[in-house]
């Protein structure tokens, strides 16, 4: 069984999406040129989600990748809702008042976000009313709290993450008279999702990360080579600080049982996540909700199961770690990706592959004969080989697709091996998850000219 | 510096295998000139008569070569079509497995182009010419529309004539003075490869190979080879000006050369082991229509141009120089050079963006198959009629003339034609039936053709100046009653057609003149230079002010009379009549009872803001008469079967009205002198040396045989007597009709003799299409039975000037 190159391409390109920030008067005033994103499923259905949107009432652009586990419900909910929570957290008091007044008097609402979605990225229609009410409660509280201070992006991000996770938890506890919705909110709460979100506004880049997805900055050195700068820390057992934090939060008696086999309570890979109420609620609460819940929930062994050594919940938080970075002209791009990518590729390789892709690898040195003795035949061979190489690079119009091609198809020499690519992509559904994870990638390209100009102004 | 431009890097191939007849003549002259140059000047020119072989990988290519071979043979240039086996005998290295044939021109040659320039300069110096090298011209000074001198970095030089032959710098030099001279050309990078000698060095008389299907040429060079080509994806350069001051060898680009190198190794596989010497990159300049540019500027007298050789400078150089010299000394060259005349272009072809895009199309075309009815694809939709979108939505397919989009034909809904590339053919084209039905509709009902591209001038005066001047400049009598239309030639001193037009007398003192589309620059310059400088006499170019609709067909009368509530029958509106009237709601429409085809009908000159209204009214009203849109292909078929000559195709500055049966359009006794009168009087007395003749192909099968185009040799009783100038399929006769000129060459001396009616009528004729001869019947007058209306002979409209 063998896939032809066009078949491989159609699989790889099925979910690709590109967005270019429109230019005004020939001048692009945004520090973001645009982004490419793509996903390759291993689970069926895929449990990863992605989101991208432009804030309309404040400046800036939001981009995020979400890696779901125990189903995709939580990742889906977070991908729909989180950016609204962030945007609302960033809004000035007057705008919040205006929005609230509009809702009160039934007037048209100011648009808050402009989404940039792939046709396959969906929003659940049924839950929108419920989600909206929760969001409205949030901004009403923000209006009441009016601190009068200008909003700090870092704080806004942390508040938004925590608030959303809280709402997910509350909605599940309260339930909903509509049985479909009731089941949905429970599935959201009992599944989990990590999130890695970037907020770009001019030269200010904030990364808010919860879990083991990763943000990486691609930097072009003066000599033209590429290097990678991490803009997030993985929240998992490999991160000493994270292990220390978890241990600090619980009594010493639990120290041994907290992290087993590199997993939280021996079960969960990421140490921070949305949802996953099984690691957050008390045993009593879990039992009550499950028992009063619909039958589907009761039949599910996973939801009924209580983690071992479960003494002092919550063990899990959705609070993100936020890193602020001031963009420099040499910062050319940002890669946000779920762990599916980072398991297969080193960040240094990612930086090089994307960097070379974006600057066009036709940057190949031109050949000059000079004083060498070259025959026509040799030259011809050389040229045909160069041509073949170039054409494989230009197959992809999307940096994320190009990266996935490498992640899945790279051989030991670091070049794409079509045979390997074909084998990996033709694995049957049930086997695919053994060889690779869902991969979701967003590559954001920065406008060095705008960034340089911003720097000079300051 | 002399020969410091692209000449220095030129490949030095002198080849007479050219498609356009005037280019062929120039190349032939150059070849003969270079041959004797060394003897005359003592300067070594490196002239070697090697011959050249043009290879054909496809049958279509072979047809193309056969066509060239036919015209070379009748010019007395030896040339033969040979088999692949013969190719192998002539050249040891060629792989012949993929060839279907080839053309061998044994007298083609190689020269060193720099040395040829030197030899020419030496000869010129001996005759008193001063050459200032390393002197840069800052601009040309002009007074009262004439060249007066040249400003250089070493001072001023007075002169009456200036020739801009600055090659790829010509465009910029033309723009350097106060008076802009537009010379539309653009440079492209051109690559060729030089190698070290072979182990067994190649003989220096080995024929040059041209492999157009592989897009390459190969010549021997110092025991090795020199090979270059015209790639599909050319690299234009210097678009924004800032041309390099002195030409350098530009950056080599091997990746770009790869397809050409592959073609070379495919053609000569044994060269694999040959060592590379250098990849030369020298810019060449190209023009918007692949033909070079020569002649006098339309705006500044004494300012001549010779540039844009499309990388065939060495082949054309000698001949082009000869024609230009004749032009400057005598006022006109000895051959028809209209295809190369600077005045075929206007300012509209001088946009840098246009040139950049067009040359990217032109350069690959150097090697592409030259098929009939080919249209450029770039630089389109520049000038359009206000009806463009309406017509386009109804299936119009377009061609372009002088930047103006014109309809070829309308593809009916649900019918598909072949892709552009696949539609290239020397045989019956895929639109055959479509045009056939349009022609049928013109004959039986009524059709509307948008003919807005025509050049339209208005000439008026306060007194009789307009009439007097026009009577002098035009051969027909223009002192006709107001409201009459006159077909007339605008002749030169030798009686040849500079323009062929229709002139309507709008009032006692104003005239409306309609000429072919590409006359816009030429005719304007011709009249400007000859009209008296009188502020009471004005001439205005109103081309853009009117949309022209041609209503052709027997029911045109009905459509128009219903729309205007005016009787349009011949009794009320005789032929060759012009009247301003209302059509629909729109008033002031100039209606003329001419159709340029000999069919009944009307031309409507509509102020552009009424164009859409009038078109809609005509189409609505015409519905019950079976009206439909038609295009220029239908028009062409109609005018050719009616034996209407068309300026630029059939008529040129070397053809007089006497030679094409249009004596009735000349009024030798109109009571005043006119340009060309003397020459015509002489012809009337002594007879003509060529005669425009119509040929009907007899044993030609339109479905299976090659179609005639133009430029096919005509044979009378087995002897060559001339060439065709245009051809079309006549749907009425169900035969091909070719128009062309018949000469009478003395069988022994080759001297031209008088052509009489008897001479024409008493011959057996054959037309040679790509080497195959078809019997043809010659006629000097059109089939009268084709006319639906009988008219008096001098009323018969024999114009066709505004054909394609």
| CATH number where B499 lies | 3.30.70.1400
Contact between B264 and A375 using a beta-carbon 8 Å cutoff? no
**What are the residue boundaries of the structural domains of chain A, listed by start?**
17-366+437-457
Which are the contacts of B325, defined by CB distance < 8 A and separation ≥ 6? none
pLDDT of A23 reads: 65
Q: Enumerate the residues of chain B whose CB falls inside 8 A of the CB of residue A369.
A: 252, 254, 276, 278-279
Mean pLDDT of chain A, nearest integer? 87
Phi and psi, residue B421, nearest 5° = -65, -40
Q: Tell me the shortest Cα–Cα distance from B240 to chain A, in angstroms.
A: 20
Q: Chain B within 8 Å of A366 (Cβ-Cβ)?
A: yes
pLDDT of B794 reads: 39
Alpha-carbon torsion, ordered A149, A151, A157, A158, to 10 deg:
-10
Q: Chain B within 8 Å of A374 (Cβ-Cβ)?
A: yes
| In contact, B472 and B464? CB cutoff 8 Å | no
Q: Tell me the shortest Cα–Cα distance from A366 to chain B, in angstroms.
A: 7
Confidence of residue A413 (pLDDT cuts 50, 70, 90): low
Q: Enumerate the residues of chain B whose CB falls inside 8 A of the CB of residue A386.
A: 255, 258
Nearest chain A residue to B262 by CA distance is: A380
Q: Enumerate the residues of chain A whose CB falls inside 8 A of the CB of residue B193.
A: 376
Q: Is the same domain home to B131 and B158?
A: yes
Contact between A376 and B254 using a beta-carbon 8 Å cutoff? no
Q: Chain B within 8 Å of A312 (Cβ-Cβ)?
A: no
- Domain membership flag for residue B372: no
Residue B211 has pLDDT above 80, yes or no: yes
Q: Enumerate the residues of chain B whose CB falls inside 8 A of the CB of residue A377.
A: 265, 271-273
Which are the contacts of A458, defined by CB distance < 8 A and separation ≥ 6? none
| In contact, A74 and A186? CB cutoff 8 Å | no
DSSP string, B95-128: --TT--EEEEETT-EE--HHHHHHHHHHHHHHTT
Q: How many CB pairs under 8 A join A and B?
A: 55
pLDDT of A28 reads: 53
Residue B245 has pLDDT above 60, yes or no: no
Q: Enumerate the residues of chain A whose CB falls inside 8 A of the CB of residue B272.
A: 375-377, 380
Which are the contacts of A88, defined by CB distance < 8 A and separation ≥ 6? A96, A112, A135, A138, A139, A142, A160
Q: Left, alpha or beta for B51 (phi > 0: left; psi -120 to 50: alpha)?
A: left
Burial tier of A429 (Cβ tally within 10 Å: 0-12, 13-18, 19+): exposed
Angstrom distance (rounded) from CA B379 to CA B730: 32
Q: Render pLDDT for A124-136 as a digit per residue (tens, 0 to 9).
A: 888 999 999 999 9
Q: Is the ipTM of this complex over 0.90?
A: no
Angstrom distance (rounded) from CA B345 to CA B183: 8
Contact between A375 and B273 using a beta-carbon 8 Å cutoff? yes
CATH of the domain at B746: 2.40.30.110
Structure tokens at B435: 């045009």
- Residue B372 is given by DSSP the state T
Give chain B's contact residues with A (Cβ, < 8 Å): 193, 195, 251-255, 257-258, 261-262, 264-265, 271-276, 278-279
Structure tokens at A387: 């041509």
Contact between A376 and B255 using a beta-carbon 8 Å cutoff? no
Q: Is the same domain home to B552 and B510?
A: no
Burial tier of B186 (Cβ tally within 10 Å: 0-12, 13-18, 19+): buried
Q: What is the mean pLDDT of residues A164-178?
A: 92
Which are the contacts of B160, defined by CB distance < 8 A and separation ≥ 6? B146, B147, B148, B302
- The SS3 of residue B308 is coil
Contact between A373 and B264 using a beta-carbon 8 Å cutoff? no
Interstrand relation of A48-55 and A113-115 (parallel, antiparallel or unpaired) = antiparallel
Q: Is the same domain home to B495 and B586?
A: no
Q: Is the same domain home to B210 and B82?
A: yes
Q: Render pLDDT for A333-373 as a digit per residue (tens, 0 to 9).
A: 999 999 999 988 999 999 988 988 887 654 455 666 666 67
pLDDT of B792 reads: 38
Q: What pairs with residue B186 in β-bridges?
A: B286
Task: Choose the closest CB to A376 out of B251, B253, B271.
Answer: B271
Q: Is the same domain home to B332 and B473?
A: no
Q: What pairs with residue B164 in β-bridges?
A: B305
Q: Is the same domain home to B297 and B436?
A: no
Top pLDDT among A20 and B674 is at: B674
Task: Choose the closest CB to B276 out of A366, A376, A386.
Answer: A376
Q: What is the mean pLDDT of residues A96-116?
A: 90
Q: Render pLDDT for B35-84 as a digit per residue (tens, 0 to 9).
A: 999 898 888 888 999 999 999 999 999 999 999 999 999 999 999 999 99
Q: Render pLDDT for B495-512 as a digit per residue (tens, 0 to 9).
A: 999 999 999 999 999 999
Q: Is the same domain home to B537 and B548?
A: no
Looking at domain A17-366+437-457, its CATH superfamily turns out to be PPM-type phosphatase domain (3.60.40.10)
Interstrand relation of B52-56 and B208-211 (parallel, antiparallel or unpaired) = parallel
Task: Choose the closest CB to A383 out of B258, B271, B275.
Answer: B258
Q: Render pLDDT for B434-481 as a digit per residue (tens, 0 to 9).
A: 999 999 999 999 999 999 999 999 999 999 999 999 999 999 999 999
pLDDT of B372 reads: 86
What's the Rg (C-alpha) of chain A?
24
pLDDT of A244 reads: 92
Q: Which of B619, B648, B677 is a domain's end point? A: B648
Q: What pairs with residue B741 in β-bridges?
A: B692
Contact between B254 and A384 using a beta-carbon 8 Å cutoff? no
Q: Which of B516, B542, B568 is a domain's end point? A: B542
Which are the contacts of B729, defined by CB distance < 8 A and separation ≥ 6? B432, B637, B702, B707, B735, B736, B737
Mean pLDDT of chain B, nearest integer? 90
Interstrand relation of B48-49 and B13-14 (parallel, antiparallel or unpaired) = unpaired
Q: Tell me the shortest Cα–Cα distance from A356 to chain B, in angstroms.
A: 19
Q: What's the order of all strands across the beta sheet hosting B455-461?
A: B485-491, B497-507, B510-515, B455-461, B537-541
Q: What is the mean pLDDT of residues B376-394?
A: 93
- Calculate ∠ Cα A98-A103-A106, nearest 5°: 120
Task: Choose the closest CB to B255 out of A369, A373, A383.
Answer: A383
pLDDT of B483 reads: 93
CA atoms within 13 A on the CB side of A115: 14
The alpha-helical segments, DSSP class H, found in A73-205 are 73-90, 93-104, 128-145, 153-174, 179-190
What's the Rg (C-alpha) of chain B?
27
Task: Give the number of other Cβ atoms within 10 Å of residue B745's Cβ.
Answer: 16
Q: What is the mean pLDDT of residues B351-358?
A: 90
Q: Tell me the shortest Cα–Cα distance from A365 to chain B, in angstroms.
A: 11
Nearest chain B residue to A388 by CA distance is: B255
Q: What is the mean pLDDT of residues A202-224?
A: 92
Angstrom distance (rounded) from CA A237 to CA A215: 18
Q: Is the same domain home to B263 and B209?
A: yes
Confidence of residue B243 (pLDDT cuts 50, 70, 90): low
Angstrom distance (rounded) from CA B194 to CA B252: 12
Which are the contacts of B485, defined by CB distance < 8 A and separation ≥ 6? B502, B503, B504, B505, B576, B577, B578, B592, B593, B594
Average the pLDDT over each of A421-430, B442-451, B535-544, B653-662 and give the range with the smallest value.
A421-430
Q: Is the same domain home to B133 and B226?
A: yes
Nearest chain B residue to A387 by CA distance is: B255
Residue B398 has pLDDT above 90, yes or no: yes
Q: Tell me the shortest Cα–Cα distance from B265 to chain A, in angstroms.
A: 8
Task: Choose the closest CB to A377 out of B193, B273, B279.
Answer: B273
Q: Enumerate the residues of chain B whose CB falls inside 8 A of the CB of residue A381.
A: none
- Domain membership flag for residue B352: no
Containing domain of residue B692, as a range? 687-803
- Domain membership flag for residue B786: yes
Contact between B272 and A377 using a beta-carbon 8 Å cutoff? yes
Contact between B272 and A376 using a beta-carbon 8 Å cutoff? yes
Confidence of residue A429 (pLDDT cuts 50, 70, 90): confident
By residue count, chain B amounts to: 804
Nearest chain A residue to B225 by CA distance is: A376
- Domain membership flag for residue B163: yes
Confidence of residue B558 (pLDDT cuts 50, 70, 90): very high
Which are the contacts of A108, defined by CB distance < 8 A and separation ≥ 6? A102
Angstrom distance (rounded) from CA B492 to CA B330: 13
- Domain membership flag for residue B250: yes
Q: Is the same domain home to B534 and B557?
A: no
Q: Render pLDDT for B501-549 as a digit per residue (tens, 0 to 9).
A: 999 999 999 999 999 999 999 999 999 999 998 889 999 999 999 999 9
Q: Tell me the shortest Cα–Cα distance from B256 to chain A, in angstroms.
A: 9
Angstrom distance (rounded) from CA B284 to CA B191: 10
Q: Render pLDDT for B262-300 as a digit per residue (tens, 0 to 9).
A: 999 999 999 988 988 888 888 889 999 999 999 999 999
Average the pLDDT over each of A24-38, A213-227, B565-579 and give the range with the smallest value.
A24-38
Task: Choose the closest CB to B274 out of A369, A376, A386.
Answer: A376
Q: Tell me the shortest Cα–Cα distance from A386 to chain B, in angstroms.
A: 8
Q: Is the same domain home to B181 and B206?
A: yes
- Domain membership flag for residue B682: no
- Domain membership flag for residue B114: yes
Q: Chain B within 8 Å of A434 (Cβ-Cβ)?
A: no
Q: Tell me the shortest Cα–Cα distance from B365 to chain A, in angstroms.
A: 24
Nearest chain B residue to A384 by CA distance is: B258
Nearest chain A residue to B273 by CA distance is: A375
Nearest chain A residue to B279 by CA distance is: A369
Q: Enumerate the residues of chain A whose CB falls inside 8 A of the CB of residue B255.
A: 366-367, 383, 386-387
Q: Chain B within 8 Å of A388 (Cβ-Cβ)?
A: no
Of A139-148, A289-298, B655-664, highest mean pLDDT = B655-664
CATH of the domain at B392: 3.30.1360.120
Q: Render pLDDT for B298-352 as a digit per residue (tens, 0 to 9).
A: 999 999 999 998 888 889 999 999 999 999 999 899 999 999 999 999 888 989 8
Angstrom distance (rounded) from CA B172 to CA B240: 10
Whole-model pTM: value is 0.71
Q: Is the same domain home to B228 and B280?
A: yes
State the total domains in chain B.
Answer: 4
- Domain membership flag for residue B660: no
Query: Tokens 């590729």, residue?
Result: A345
């Amino acid at each position: 069984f063998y896939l032809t190159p066009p078949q491989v391409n159609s699989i790889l390109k099925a979910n690709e999406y590109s967005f270019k920030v429109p230019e005004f008067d020939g001048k692009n005033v945004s520090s973001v040129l645009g982004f490419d994103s793509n996903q390759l499923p291993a689970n069926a259905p895929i449990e990863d989600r992605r989101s991208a949107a432009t804030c309309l009432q404040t400046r800036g652009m939001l981009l995020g990748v979400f890696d779901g586990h125990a189903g995709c419900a939580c990742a889906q909910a977070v991908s729909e809702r989180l950016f609204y929570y962030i945007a609302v957290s960033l809004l000035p008091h007057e705008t919040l008042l205006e929005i609230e007044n509009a809702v009160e008097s039934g007037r048209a609402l100011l648009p808050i976000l402009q989404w940039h979605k792939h046709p396959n990225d969906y929003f659940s229609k049924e839950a929108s009313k419920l989600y909206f009410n929760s969001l409205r409660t949030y901004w009403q509280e923000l209006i009441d709290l009016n601190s009068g201070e200008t909003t700090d992006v870092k704080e806004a991000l942390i508040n938004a993450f925590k608030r959303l996770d809280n709402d997910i938890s509350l909605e599940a506890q309260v339930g909903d008279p509509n049985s479909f919705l009731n089941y949905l909110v429970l599935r959201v709460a009992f599944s989990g999702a990590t999130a890695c979100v970037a907020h770009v506004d001019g030269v200010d880049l904030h990364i808010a990360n919860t879990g083991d997805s990763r943000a990486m900055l691609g930097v072009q050195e003066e000599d033209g080579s590429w290097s990678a700068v991490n803009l997030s820390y993985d929240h998992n057992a490999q991160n000493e600080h994270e292990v220390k934090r978890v241990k600090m939060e619980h009594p010493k008696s639990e120290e041994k049982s907290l992290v087993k086999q590199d997993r939280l309570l021996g079960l969960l890979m990421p140490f921070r996540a949305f949802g996953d109420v099984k690691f957050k609620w008390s045993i009593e609460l879990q039992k009550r909700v499950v028992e009063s819940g619909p039958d589907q929930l009761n039949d599910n062994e996973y939801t009924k199961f209580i983690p071992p050594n479960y003494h002092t919940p919550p063990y899990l938080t959705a609070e993100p770690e936020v890193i602020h970075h001031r963009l420099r002209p040499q910062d050319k791009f940002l890669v946000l990706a779920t762990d599916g990518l980072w398991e297969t590729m080193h960040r240094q390789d990612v930086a090089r592959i994307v960097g070379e892709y974006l600057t066009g690898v036709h940057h190949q040195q031109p050949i000059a004969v000079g004083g060498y003795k070259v025959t026509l035949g040799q030259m011809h061979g050389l040229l045909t080989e160069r041509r073949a190489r170039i054409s494989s690079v230009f197959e992809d119009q999307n940096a994320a697709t190009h990266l996935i091609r490498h992640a899945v198809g790279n051989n030991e020499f670091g070049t794409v091996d079509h045979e390997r690519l074909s084998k990996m992509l033709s694995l049957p559904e049930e086997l695919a998850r053994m060889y690779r994870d869902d991969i979701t990638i967003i590559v954001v390209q920065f406008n060095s000219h705008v960034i340089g100009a911003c720097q000079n102004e300051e | 510096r002399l020969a410091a431009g692209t000449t220095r890097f030129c490949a030095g191939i002198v080849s007479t295998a050219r498609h356009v007849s005037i280019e062929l003549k120039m190349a032939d002259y150059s070849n003969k000139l270079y041959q004797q140059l060394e003897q005359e000047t003592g300067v070594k020119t490196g002239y070697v008569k090697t011959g050249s072989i043009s290879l054909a990988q496809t049958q279509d290519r072979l047809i193309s070569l056969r066509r060239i071979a036919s015209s070379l043979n009748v010019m007395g240039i030896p040339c033969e079509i040979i088999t692949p086996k013969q190719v192998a005998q002539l050249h040891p290295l060629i792989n012949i497995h993929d060839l279907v044939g080839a053309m061998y021109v044994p007298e083609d040659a190689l020269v060193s182009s720099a040395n040829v320039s030197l030899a020419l300069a030496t000869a010129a110096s001996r005759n008193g010419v001063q050459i200032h090298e390393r002197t840069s011209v800052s601009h040309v000074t002009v007074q009262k529309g004439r060249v007066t001198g040249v400003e250089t970095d070493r001072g001023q030089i007075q002169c009456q004539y200036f020739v801009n032959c600055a090659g790829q710098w010509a465009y910029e030099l033309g723009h350097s003075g106060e008076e802009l001279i537009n010379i539309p050309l653009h440079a492209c990078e051109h690559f060729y490869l030089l190698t070290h000698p072979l182990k067994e060095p190649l003989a220096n008389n080995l024929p040059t190979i041209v492999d157009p299907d592989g897009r390459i040429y190969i010549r021997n060079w110092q025991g090795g080879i020199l090979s270059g080509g015209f790639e599909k994806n050319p690299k234009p350069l210097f678009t924004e000006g800032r041309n390099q001051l002195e030409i350098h060898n530009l950056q080599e680009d091997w990746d770009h050369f790869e397809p050409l190198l592959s073609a070379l190794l495919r053609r000569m596989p044994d060269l694999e082991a040959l060592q590379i010497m250098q990849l030369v990159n020298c810019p060449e300049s190209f023009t918007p229509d692949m033909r070079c540019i020569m002649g006098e500027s339309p705006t500044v007298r004494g300012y001549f141009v010779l540039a844009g050789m499309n990388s065939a400078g060495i082949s054309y150089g000698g001949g082009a120089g000869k024609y230009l010299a004749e032009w400057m000394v005598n006022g006109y060259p000895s051959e028809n050079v209209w295809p190369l005349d600077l005045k075929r272009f206007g300012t509209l072809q001088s946009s840098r963006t246009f040139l950049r895009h067009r040359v990217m199309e032109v350069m690959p075309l150097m090697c592409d198959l030259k098929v009939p009815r080919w249209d450029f694809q770039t630089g389109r939709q520049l000038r359009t009629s206000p009806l463009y979108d309406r017509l386009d939505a109804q299936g119009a397919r377009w061609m372009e003339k002088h930047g103006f989009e014109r309809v070829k034909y309308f593809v009916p809904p649900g019918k598909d034609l072949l892709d552009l590339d696949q539609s290239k053919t020397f045989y019956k084209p895929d639109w055959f039936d479509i045009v056939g039905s349009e022609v049928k509709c013109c004959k039986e009902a009524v059709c509307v053709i948008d003919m807005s591209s025509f050049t339209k001038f208005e000439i008026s005066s306060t007194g009789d100046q307009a009439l007097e001047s026009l009577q002098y400049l035009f051969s027909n009598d223009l002192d006709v009653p107001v409201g009459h239309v006159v077909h007339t030639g605008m002749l030169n001193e030798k009686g040849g057609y500079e323009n062929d037009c229709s002139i309507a007398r709008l009032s006692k003192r104003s005239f409306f003149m309609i000429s072919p589309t590409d006359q816009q620059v030429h005719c304007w310059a011709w009249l400007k230079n000859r009209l008296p400088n009188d502020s009471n006499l004005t001439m205005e170019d109103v081309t853009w002010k009117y949309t022209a609709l041609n209503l052709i067909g027997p029911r045109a009368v009905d459509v128009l009379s219903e729309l205007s509530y005016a009787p349009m029958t011949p009794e009320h509106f005789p032929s060759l009549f012009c009247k301003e009237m209302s059509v629909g709601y729109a008033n002031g429409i100039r209606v003329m009872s001419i159709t340029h085809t000999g069919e009944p009908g009307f031309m409507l000159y509509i102020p552009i803001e009424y164009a859409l209204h009038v078109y809609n009214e005509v189409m609505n009203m015409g519905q019950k008469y079976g009206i439909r849109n038609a295009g220029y292909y239908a028009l062409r078929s109609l005018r050719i079967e009616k034996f209407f000559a068309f300026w630029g195709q059939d008529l040129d500055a070397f053809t007089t009205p006497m030679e094409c049966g249009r004596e009735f359009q000349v009024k030798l006794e109109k009571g005043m002198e006119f340009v060309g009168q003397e020459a015509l009087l002489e012809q009337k007395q002594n007879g003509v040396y060529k005669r425009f003749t119509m040929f009907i192909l007899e044993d030609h099968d339109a479905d299976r045989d090659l179609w005639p185009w133009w430029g096919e040799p005509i044979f009378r009783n087995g002897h060559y007597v001339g060439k065709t100038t245009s051809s079309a399929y006549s749907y009425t006769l169900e035969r091909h009709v070719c128009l062309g000129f018949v000469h009478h060459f003395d069988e022994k001396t080759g001297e031209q003799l008088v052509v009489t009616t008897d001479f024409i009528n008493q011959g057996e004729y054959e037309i040679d299409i790509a080497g195959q001869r078809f019997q043809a019947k010659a006629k000097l007058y059109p089939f009268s039975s084709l006319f639906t209306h009988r008219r008096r002979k001098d009323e018969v409209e024999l114009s066709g000037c505004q054909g394609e």
